Amino acid sequence: DTTVKQNPRYKLARVGKPVNLICSQTMNHDTMYWYQKKPNQAPKLLLFYYDKILNREADTFEKFQSSRPNNSFCSLYIGSAGLEYSAMYLCASSSGTGGSDYTFGSGTRLLVI
Amino acid sequence: QQKVQQSPESLTVSEGAMASLNCTFSDGTSNNFRWYRQHSAKGLEVLVSIFSDGEKEEGRFTAHLNRANLHVSLHIREPQPSDSAVYLCAVNTNAYKVIFGKGTHLHVLP
């Protein structure tokens, strides 16, 4: 199974409420990534885990949290959702250093109201 | 930092006519380039990965890479209405980071 699975496919959240998105992969990839994609914009890397080490992009450092309790699972957490968080959130994984097996999940579409 | 630009922003072709999409990047030292597509409200589907100058074909999709010219293109042979989607160019900029272009909206008319 060479897929990255994301749950849920669609998420509706209220402004100010927390949001938790889930991603899993069974390829034993050591790196997992979270991207944000808005219409007519390029996907933007939010953060990634290499093994158990979390790396967050400087401009989104305070907006998103993540956890990776084991190799297969990674979550993205928004503590207090704002309208600007409405977007498609894409999880990806790869072995080693962004290699040829970079694989994306189907995404979670988040709508904040 | 690596910059990735795609053109055109939008492209309309008739079913069966070749569709050509362009992508330019600013750092020619990258060696990992991919084309993805995204159908409305869905995830990213990888179409072609190319790692060296030249041509790489995957079914009806062919990528051409010319790192000296900082250019990678995607050609879609015999496009169908179901190929209508946003096509994204992606360049690995370092060990972990992938930089995307904003995409080309392709519309294939029946």
Q: How many CB pairs under 8 A join A and B?
A: 55
Comparing CB atoms, the residue among B34, B97, B100 nearest residue A42 is B100
Note whether B43 contacts A90, CB cutoff 8 Å.
yes
Q: What is the mean pLDDT of residues B56-71?
A: 96
Asked if residue A1 has pLDDT above 90, the reply is no
Q: Which of B4, B41, B102 lies closest to A109 in CB terms?
A: B41
- For range A33-60, the mean pLDDT: 91
Under an 8 Å CB criterion, which residues of B touch A? 4, 32, 34, 36, 38, 41-44, 46, 49, 51, 88, 92, 94-103
Contacts of A107 in chain B (CB under 8 A): 42-44
* Å between B4 CA and nearest CA of chain A: 9
Q: Is A20 helix (H, G, I), strand (E, B) or coil?
A: strand
Residue A3, class by beta-carbon neighbours within 10 Å (0-12 exposed, 13-18 middle, 19+ buried)? middle
Is residue A58 over pLDDT 80? yes
Percent of chain B's residues with pLDDT above 90: 76
Burial of B76 (0-12, 13-18, 19+ CB in 10 A): buried
Give the pLDDT confidence score for residue B40 in this predicted structure. Answer: 79
Q: What is the pLDDT of residue A24?
A: 97
pLDDT in tens, A26-46: 999 999 999 999 988 999 999
Give the confidence band of A97 by pLDDT, cuts at 50, 70, 90.
low
Which runs of E-coded beta strand occur in A19-105?
A: 19-25, 31-37, 44-50, 53-56, 65-70, 73-78, 87-94, 103-104
Average pLDDT over all residues of chain A: 91
pLDDT of B42 reads: 76
> Are A45 and B98 inside 8 Å of each other by CB?
yes
With 80 as the cut, is the pLDDT of residue A85 above it?
yes
| pLDDT digit string, tens, across residues B73-110 | 999 999 999 999 999 999 987 667 789 999 999 999 99
pLDDT at A96 exceeding the cut of 80? no
Chain B partners within 8 Å of A88 (Cβ): 41, 43
Q: Residue B39: CB partners within 8 Å, gap ≥ 6?
A: B45, B84, B85
Lowest mean pLDDT among A1-5, A85-89, B21-25, B61-65: A1-5
pLDDT of residue A2: 60
Residue B27: its pLDDT value, please? 86
Please check whether residue A2 touches B, CB under 8 A. no
Parallel, antiparallel or unpaired: strands B44-50 and B33-38: antiparallel
pLDDT at A105: 92
